[in-house]
Chains A and B, each alone.
Chain A
Amino acid sequence: MIVARTGNEAMAEAMRQINPDVVAAYPITPATEVVQLFASFVADGQVTTEFVPAESEHSALSACVGASAAGARVMTSTSSQGLALMHEILFIAAGLRLPIVICLVNRALSSPINIHCDHSDSLASRDSGWLQIFTENTQEAYDTTIMAVKMAEEIMLPAMVTTDGFIISHGMERIELIDDEKVPKWLGERKVVNNLLDVDNPITLGMLDLQDYYFEHKRQEIEAMNNCLPIIEKVQKEFGDTFGRYYPIVDEYKMEDAEVAILAMGSTGGTGKVAVDRMREKGKKVGLIRCRIYRPFPKEAMLNAIMKVKVLGVMDRADTLSTLGGHLYNDCRSILYESAKKPLMKNYIYGLGGRDISIEEIEEVFEQLLKIKDTGRIDKDIVYYGVRGE
């Protein structure tokens, strides 16, 4: 069925079709609508979900942890400060290997207070052991929300699926919905390994693990992250085979003969593709790489993509404040360490706090990258693109 939906509506629709056992949430701009709409599905009897309106995001995710440990299929939604307030529980969910899915609407972290998009919220949770999938548009947000449930349950790690705040969350697009009954059928039942409510086989969950076992349990969690990319790929293929929409680990656009490329995440992938088309019309050999699966970082696929070009502009919609540039830039620098041949790289920190990035600006970035290709020289590694006074 073809409909017009905002990103938030699409994620709520996906949640309705998934019909999770428990949703515990606290509303926050710009993710409010996701659970607001979901609450009305609950009230209207369209889902059988137990809805827990918690008193904070910390409580919401704590309730999710409890419910997931009891064997339920659990989801929530949040953004920015809300995710920051969940931070403590993020690690617990991952450490307990609970496949909770968060529909995360990317929004800048305070201070200054800002409700618009950048990626500082999810990237600040980068090391919490959650799968992180950045979507480019409403259709992808909808599809990925459904896929994430299956990925998380097979890998036994929680997952966050992100959309860019307001740009995707409140922007309306044409999307194709899957028939209601097909979604739960495709997902099947959650297979629970450790069930807290199995009274015949009582277990304790989340016990104390001092110097003698903490490291071993953490090592197990690391291993799950190390080995999960093939599972992610498999689930994406299964989704494609069933519903006809295939998604890559790393999205490559017109990269076959590209000499320079930009690498970005989220909605900038879409804007960038239009910029690529315009540059191509002018005969410029440019391409775009979009990092869709950000955690675990897809080392092989990313290397394969970025090694195709002579110059790479890495677009980061957040800064690490480490003096070393953005997150993506750091990850790419890291995977290139062992390569004899590497592209010249320039880091563009852009769009903080919802500062718009236009097609024209991305074309300008391409022009700069093409100039670097011609001269072989980068005058500045890290630039703050679109900030006044630079």
Chain B
Amino acid sequence: MKKEKKGWKDLPIGLAWKSGSSKEFETGDWRSDKPIWDEKKCTHCLICWIYCPDSAIIIKDGKVQGIDYKYCKGCGICAEECPPKIKAITMVREEK
């Protein structure tokens, strides 16, 4: 559903907005390559989580749960940094 956007008279003055609003800015649609995470291969070393510039690796109780595609821009750093012997993340072409 398309969200109704505000006109200039309805915006707060001075480029100020409630904090944490970048969560509403979903950057996942920028992606052309998509990381695929393999649960069976993953050792939960969390290197992908450390390197991800978009905090798109979902972690729960110290373990990787998957990738948040709402924010993942498909940069491929996670796949690059995943240890070569493990290779739990591979990049595939995004299909629309």
Contact = CB atoms under 8 A, between A and B. Distances in A.
A96 B14 contact: yes
**Max chain A Cβ within 10 angstroms of own Cβ: one of B5, B9, B19:** B19
Interface string B16-29: 11111110010000
A206 interface: yes
Contacts of B16: 193-194, 203-205
Interface in B49-96: none
A220 B11 contact: yes
Interface in A194-208: 194, 202-208
Interface stretch (A209-217, A265-273, A274-282, A360-368): A209-217
A287 interface: no
A193 B15 CA distance: 11
B6 interface: yes
A216 B11 contact: yes
Contacts of A207: 15, 17, 21-22
Contact of B14 (A156, A213, A215): A156
Given A212-B5, A216-B8, A219-B8, A193 B20 contact: no
Interface in A124-165: 156
A82 interface: no
Contacts of A213: 5-6, 11
A219 B17 CA distance: 17
A296 interface: no
Nearest to A192: B14
A206 B19 contact: no
A16 interface: no
Nearest to A202: B19
Given A194-B12, A208-B25, A203 B5 contact: no
Nearest to A195: B16
A216 B20 CA distance: 21
Contacts of B9: 220
Contacts of B6: 213, 216
B51 to A, nearest CB: 22
Interface residues of A, number: 23
Interface string A82-97: 0000000000000111
Contacts of A217: 8, 11, 15
B13 A156 contact: yes
Contacts of B21: 204, 207
A202 B20 CA distance: 9
A117 to B, nearest CB: 34
A220 B8 CA distance: 6
A156 B14 CA distance: 8
Contacts of B12: 194
A151 to B, nearest CB: 16
B30 to A, nearest CB: 12
A212 to B, nearest CB: 6
B5 A95 contact: no
Interface in A213-235: 213, 215-217, 219-220, 223
Nearest to B7: A216
Contacts of A96: 14-15
A223 B17 CA distance: 19
A339 to B, nearest CB: 31
A117 B5 CA distance: 48
Contact of A203 (B7, B17, B22, B25): B17
Nearest to B14: A97
A193 B14 contact: yes
Contacts of A193: 13-14, 16
Given A212-B5, A216-B6, A219-B8, A194 B20 contact: no
Interface of A: 95-98, 156, 193-194, 202-209, 212-213, 215-217, 219-220, 223
27 contacts: A95-B15, A96-B15, A97-B13, A97-B14, A97-B15, A193-B13, A193-B14, A194-B13, A202-B20, A204-B16, A204-B17, A204-B18, A204-B20, A205-B15, A205-B17, A206-B15, A207-B22, A209-B15, A213-B5, A213-B6, A215-B8, A216-B8, A216-B11, A217-B15, A219-B8, A220-B13, A223-B8
Given A97-B13, A203-B18, 11 more contacts: A194-B16, A202-B19, A204-B18, A206-B15, A207-B21, A208-B25, A209-B15, A213-B11, A215-B8, A219-B8, A220-B11
